[in-house]
Amino acid sequence: MAATFTKDEIQEVHQIQNQYSRLPKQTFNSSNLYASSPHLTAPFSPGSVTSSYISSQLDYINFYRRLFDLPSISTNKTDNDNAQITASVMAAIKANPFTNQHGLPSETRPNYISDTYWTIAKNVSASSNLNFNVSNQSAGDVITDLLTDTYNLDGSDTGHRAWLLSSRLTTTGIGAAYGENSYRYSVQQVAYSSDGYKAAAKSAVAYPNSGVFPIELLQGNNIAWSLYLSDKTTPGIPKITVTDLDTGEVSQATNVNNFSNKAYGYFKTIITYFPGDIKLVSGHEYNVNINNVYQYSFKLFNQVAANQPKLKTSNDNTETKSREKNSEKISSSQNIKDSSDKTTRKILKQVADPDSSATIKSALLLQAEKLRDSLNKKRRMNTVIFGRSYQDGYSYYNLGNDQWFHNFYVYNNPDFTAGVVNIDNHSFDTNIYTSPYPNLQKRTANHVTSGKSYAYGQSITTDHITWYYLGKKQWIRQNN
C-alpha cells in the first residue's frame, strides 16, 4: 500500500529531481580548492577559494532552502573574505576539530597571526556554521552535513540546520582551508545581527517539510527531526507521534528536546526529536503530530531519480477527490452538532482503534488542509500593508474576511497551520465561539464533543490562549 501522488506533486518531485541532478558534484581537495593558496606560517596569508567553490556551496544552500519554501540568500566579497580568514586561522593553529571552536574559546593567538586577523577569526567563528572533515567532499556535501546535522558536537540541538534554514537569513560568507593535520576547516557565516530584526519569511519551518520531501535527507545515523517557530515561544517538552498513513503504523518520538533558549536561526521555538522506530519508505505519506503545537503531513520520494521506485499516481485526481469527499463527513465545521451520521461516528471514533487510525488521521488532515486553503483564497496577499483595527489597546491586522492577526510589527503574513485537534474536557473549552478576539466574540449554541477529533484550518494565540478555526465564525479554545 502506498500514498497517491497528485499531478502537481509528481510535477514537483520531477522538478526537485532535475534541480538536484544539475547541482555541481565536483569534489574539492587541497589541490583544487584555492584560487590563491594560503600561507599558514609566517608571513601568514589567508589565501582565497575558487569562485566555483563559493558558487557551488551557495547553489546547495539555496536548493535546500527552496525545499522548505524559504527565500534564496546571497553572498558578498567582504563576508567571503572574513570567512576565509577564519578558516585559514583555524587551519594554521590546527584547531581541535573535536571541541567547540565557536569564538576560539580555548585557542591562543600565535605571534605570526595579527591581532586584526585573530579578532576577525574569533568574531566570525562565533557567528558561523563550522564543519571539519578529512574527506574530500563536494562543496554541497559540506552543506548537506550541516543540514542533516549528523556530526553536531552538541548532540541533537540541530543548531547548524536552524541557521541554514533561518526564516530571517538573507546573506552568508563562505571560506575553507586545509591544515597540516589534513582537516578541511569550512566556515559558513550565518548569524548577522541585522537579520535578527527582519520579518520572518515563514512562521514555521519543519524538518522534514510538509508536502513532498526527499527520503535521502532522513537516511543515516543521528539525523534528528525538528520544528522551528519564528515568532511563537513554546515551553516544555511536547509529546510527538509519527504515523505512516499508508500502513497505520504509529511511533512515539524519542529524545524530544526543547532548545528554544538557544535562539538558533533567530527562532523563538526549537524542538528536536527522533522519529522512533517507524519505517521510512519512499512513496509513503506520514503525519507528524507535535501535541498542541503543530501537525502536518509529508510524502517521501527519492531526490536521485534513478533510485525512485514507481510512485502511485492519480491521472485525474479521482482518488484524491474521493478522499476529500469522505473527509467532508468528518466533524463538519458547518454543522458540528450533527454528528449522528454513521459514517461520521465511524471516522471520528477513538484513534485507539489501530484498524482505522490511518483513515481517521488522513481524512481529518485533508479536511484541515481544505479549511486552511479556504482561508488562503480570501486572504489579502500584500505583505506590507494591511487594514487595521484597534481593540483593547492592541493593534490587529486585517488579513481577509473575519481574519485578524495581532502584532505591532507585521511585515509578512503569518502562515496558516492546518491540523487535527483532539478534544478532552480538561484541555479544551468545548463551547464554540464566533471569534478569538474579545470585541468580536460571542458564544454559540454549538459544542465540540470530548473524545472526538476535529480538523482545524488555522490556530491563533491571543492573551496566552490558543484558538483553533473549525469553520466560518467557529472557533474553539484551549484551556490554560
Give 63-88 pLDDT, tens digit per residue. 999 999 999 999 999 999 999 999 99
Same domain, 48 and 149: yes
Is 230 within 8 Å of 197 (Cβ atoms)? Answer: no
CA distance 469 to 414: 15
CA distance 472 to 211: 26
CA distance 448 to 428: 9
Which pLDDT score is estimated for 420?
84
CA distance 213 to 79: 32
Contacts of 126 (CB under 8 A, 6+ apart): 102, 103, 191
CA distance 190 to 84: 14
Is residue 389 domain-resident? no
Average pLDDT (241-253) is: 95
Q: Residue 184: name the closest of 109, 119, 85, 88 by CA.
A: 88
Is residue 314 domain-resident? no
Is residue 9 domain-resident? no
pLDDT digits (tens, 9 = 90+) for 161-178: 999 999 999 999 999 999
pLDDT digits (tens, 9 = 90+) for 335-390: 333 333 333 333 333 333 444 454 555 567 667 767 776 765 544 433 333 333 33
Q: What is the CATH number of the domain that holds 132?
A: 3.40.33.10
Is residue 400 domain-resident? no
CA distance 33 to 152: 24
Average pLDDT (258-270) is: 94
315 pLDDT band, cuts 50/70/90, is: low
Same domain, 189 and 231: no
Same domain, 230 and 111: no
Provide the number of structural domains found in the chain: 3
Distance of CA 400 to the CA centre of its chain: 26
Per-residue buried b or exposed e for 370-403, using 16+ beta carbons within 10 Å of the residue's own CB: bbbebbbeeeeeeeeebeeeeeeeebbbebbeeb
pTM of the model: 0.68
Same domain, 113 and 262: no
Q: Is 473 exposed, middle or buried (0-12, 13-18, 19+ CB in 10 A)?
A: middle
**Could you say which of 197, 216, 238 is where a domain stops?**
197
Average pLDDT (469-476) is: 89
Is residue 337 domain-resident? no
Is residue 49 domain-resident? yes
Which pLDDT score is estimated for 382?
36
pLDDT higher than threshold 90 for residue 220: no
Strands (DSSP E) found in 379-442:
387-391, 394-400, 403-406, 419-422, 428-433
Distance of CA 139 to the CA centre of its chain: 23
Same domain, 193 and 276: no
pLDDT higher than threshold 70 for residue 297: yes
For residue 115, what is its C-alpha cell? 591581532
Which pLDDT score is estimated for 460?
80
Which pLDDT score is estimated for 416?
60
Which pLDDT score is estimated for 2?
81
Write down the number of H helices and E strands in the chain.
Answer: 9, 27
Greater confidence (372 vs 129) lies with: 129
**Angle ∠(210,382,8) on CA atoms, nearest 5:** 35
Same domain, 166 and 249: no
CA distance 186 to 176: 4
Greater confidence (431 vs 360) lies with: 431
| Residue range(s) defining the domain that contains residue 119 | 18-197
Name the average pLDDT for the chain: 82
Is 392 within 8 Å of 421 (Cβ atoms)? Answer: no
Q: Residue 186: name the closest of 194, 177, 195 by CA.
A: 177
Greater confidence (290 vs 328) lies with: 290
Same domain, 177 and 208: no
Q: How far is CA 39 from CA 105, 106, 108, 210, 314, in A?
A: 23, 23, 19, 46, 60
Greater confidence (264 vs 327) lies with: 264
Q: What is the CATH number of the domain that holds 229?
A: 2.60.40
Distance of CA 391 to the CA centre of its chain: 33
Is residue 228 domain-resident? yes
Same domain, 188 and 209: no
pLDDT digits (tens, 9 = 90+) for 27-70: 999 999 999 999 999 999 999 999 999 999 999 999 999 999 99
For residue 49, what is its C-alpha cell? 577559494
Is 64 within 8 Å of 139 (Cβ atoms)? Answer: no
Average pLDDT (87-105) is: 94
Which pLDDT score is estimated for 393?
36
Q: Is 195 exposed, middle or buried (0-12, 13-18, 19+ CB in 10 A)?
A: middle
**Could you say which of 197, 224, 257 is where a domain stops?**
197
pLDDT higher than threshold 50 for residue 273: yes
Same domain, 73 and 171: yes
Same domain, 293 and 191: no
Same domain, 60 and 102: yes
Average pLDDT (102-115) is: 95
Same domain, 27 and 140: yes
Average pLDDT (199-216) is: 95
Which pLDDT score is estimated for 435?
87
Is 396 within 8 Å of 437 (Cβ atoms)? Answer: yes
Share of the chain above pLDDT 90, in %: 61
Contacts of 307 (CB under 8 A, 6+ apart): none
Q: What is the CATH number of the domain that holds 426?
A: 2.30.30
Is residue 344 domain-resident? no
pLDDT digits (tens, 9 = 90+) for 10-26: 999 999 999 999 999 99
CA distance 189 to 127: 6
